Amino acid sequence: KNLAVFVSGGGSNFRSIHNASINGLIHGDVVVLVTDKPGCGGAEYARDHNIPVIQFPKSKYSLEGLSPTDLVISLRKWKIQYILLAGFLKLIPTELVQAFPRSILNIHPSLLPAFGGKGYYGLKVHKAVIESGARYSGPTVHFVDEHYDTGRILAQKVVPVLANDTAEQLAARVLCEEHQVYVEVVSALCEDRIVWREDGVPLIRSKE
């Protein structure tokens, strides 16, 4: 399966997916990286590993660079089956959501639907979790729709929030789990182990 990864930042999830693909844990290849921040760590990693980098459309109304339709055309040229958002901060344009139905995933560092949506990104998520007094947090992998963090949930991992946690400490504990759960889900996706229940809930079949 051909995968496109979208990043805006350091790209540690991107790296773990790329490594899993090289090591055969994922039956898929990262064939292109899409970014809105060409200088970010994820984009640098891609260039160092000879993965082509394409620029995400600057804004809906901008005439510069690719339009969302151009982006769909390029992803088709690369024969992309699945799009994986990994620390990607822009909203995904409708054109893309419609062109790749049930094929775009995101990872979010809280147990959705709690602490999700616009404004909940980076350390802000973990600060809000700590301030709420919640005892557990953890990553969610979900399908992407036209809004922030509202698509169907596929997998979650539970991580404890410790009494004296700082946002940074909690973020690091959650990130460790992110790397594992995202690889598990992408592995299932590439092996066609995701089944859709009649009511529209996606489930992961375990390996036989």
The residues that touch ligand GRF, with contacts defined as CB under 6 A, are 9-14, 86-87, 107-109, 139, 175, 178
In the bound state with ligand GRF, the residue whose beta carbon lies nearer, of 80 and 174, is 174
Output the smallest distance, CB 10 to ligand GRF, in A.
4
Q: In Å, what is the CA distance from 196 to each residue of 22, 98, 186, 201?
A: 28, 18, 16, 6
Output the smallest distance, CB 33 to ligand GRF, in A.
12
| Catalytic status, residue 142 | no
In the bound state with ligand GRF, the residue whose beta carbon lies nearer, of 66 and 167, is 167
Output the smallest distance, CB 40 to ligand GRF, in A.
8
Which residue is nearest to ligand GRF, using beta carbons?
87
- The β-bridge partners of 33 are 5, 53
Q: In Å, what is the CA distance from 49 to each residue of 22, 33, 46, 188?
A: 11, 11, 5, 25
Out of 18, 27, 49, 108, the active site residue is: 108
In the bound state with ligand GRF, the residue whose beta carbon lies nearer, of 97 and 175, is 175
In the bound state with ligand GRF, the residue whose beta carbon lies nearer, of 12 and 137, is 12
Catalytic residues: 108
